[in-house]
Amino acid sequence: MTWLEGNARDKRPAGARLRELLDRKEILRVPGAHNAFAGMIAKQAGFDALYISGGAVTASLGLPDLGIMTLDEMCGVVRSVSRTTDLPLIVDGDTGYGGTLNAMRVVQEMELAGAGAIHIEDQMLPKKCGHLNDKRLVDPEEAATKIAAAKKASSDLVIIARTDAAGVEGLDAAIKRSNLYREAGADVSFPDGLPSAEDHVEYAKKVPGLKMANMTEYGRTPFFTGQEFEDMGFDIVIWPATSMRAAAKLFQDLYGHMKEHDGTEGFMDKVMSRGEQYDTLAYYDYEALDQSVARTVLPEYGK
């Protein structure tokens, strides 16, 4: 059934559905989806929730991840992924797109777009990826005020407080900030950029409640599996930008092949067939909604 019909959609708020997933004993594994089609493929693979990365979306827009993407641009992606997958989404809210009032509006807009959770970080604008150098942090009390305001603005959205303090002020400061943000109303704590298993374990011991880990590639955190993060004491793990990086690498290979060989012959074993594409999109279900549209018959090569 397509999202146009709507009857099969889970009518419960996305935040409630995400909380239900978090009530499970095992860690919630959440891959990133930088657009709706990536989200549909992730759902086909069996994932129950998705992550929308600010870094991945900005890269898709041809922009660096420095806080210059607009809220409307991010909400557009959230809306399209939500309606096509009907999965609860954890969304990167950066710094809340400004001050306290901006963070409250972000919460309202994300709920309307279909998000189940949003995380807000304690960096100053312009922000940087949490695994990069020389980040600038706001005062803990200012960040806590923003988290409290976001919680107040939420009717259902899960509020995740991200701290980037570990790489700036040290692990103890990250722990102290996270506990302050929990007191302010955060539902989940998120320490970004922890560089070792020992730091993850120490953080998990000293910060009560639900905790989220970031398994981004090419960052400060070594490769860990979802099970390893669970053993360290975490409840959610995200792979934020992998889908975008994988797609970008394939684009590089494709365009290089086309330039060298003057066409795509010899490359097609690396790409999705038209038949697989149409199956993922529920193409024939859409056609069936309008009796004036003839059912498509694929060319033999496209199956």
pLDDT of residue 276: 93
* Burial of residue 263, with CB atoms counted within 10 A of its CB: 0-12 exposed, 13-18 middle, 19 or more buried: exposed
pLDDT of residue 235: 98
pLDDT of residue 302: 58
Q: Report if residue 6 sits inside a domain.
A: no
Residue 170, SS3? coil
Work out whether strand 236-239 and strand 210-214 pair parallel, antiparallel, or are unpaired: parallel
Q: Report if residue 288 sits inside a domain.
A: yes
pLDDT of residue 147: 97
For residues 185 and 207, state if they share a domain: yes
Q: Report if residue 7 sits inside a domain.
A: no
User: Using one digit for the tens of pLDDT, what is the confidence trace for 136-186?
Assistant: 899 999 999 999 999 999 999 999 999 999 989 999 999 999 999 999 999
Q: Report if residue 298 sits inside a domain.
A: yes
User: Using one digit for the tens of pLDDT, what is the confidence trace for 73-82?
Assistant: 999 999 999 9
For residues 66 and 164, state if they share a domain: yes
CA dist 154 and 269 (Å) reads 46
For residues 64 and 171, state if they share a domain: yes
pLDDT of residue 303: 60
For residues 168 and 290, state if they share a domain: no
For residues 277 and 130, state if they share a domain: no
Q: Report if residue 140 sits inside a domain.
A: yes
For residues 267 and 126, state if they share a domain: no
pLDDT of residue 127: 76
For residues 122 and 205, state if they share a domain: yes
Low-confidence ranges of the chain (pLDDT < 50): none
DSSP secondary-structure letter at 167? Answer: G
pLDDT of residue 132: 66
CA dist 137 and 95 (Å) reads 10
Q: Report if residue 144 sits inside a domain.
A: yes
For residues 232 and 280, state if they share a domain: no
Domain end residue (candidates: 219, 240, 261): 240
For residues 177 and 262, state if they share a domain: no
Count of domains observed in the chain: 2
Q: Report if residue 89 sits inside a domain.
A: yes
pLDDT of residue 130: 67
Tokens read off for 15? 């935040």
Closest CA to 1 of 9, 236, 116: 9
Domain holding 143: CATH number? Answer: 3.20.20.60
For residues 253 and 109, state if they share a domain: no
Q: Report if residue 5 sits inside a domain.
A: no
Helix, strand and coil in the chain, % to nearest 5: 45, 15, 40
pLDDT of residue 243: 96
Domain end residue (candidates: 240, 260, 281): 240
Please give the span between the terminal C-alpha atoms of the chain, in angstroms, as a whole number. 22
For residues 110 and 226, state if they share a domain: yes
Contact 153, 144 (CB under 8 A): no
For residues 20 and 42, state if they share a domain: yes
CA dist 289 and 303 (Å) reads 23
CA dist 4 and 286 (Å) reads 8
Domain end residue (candidates: 188, 219, 240): 240
Domain span including residue 288: 248-302
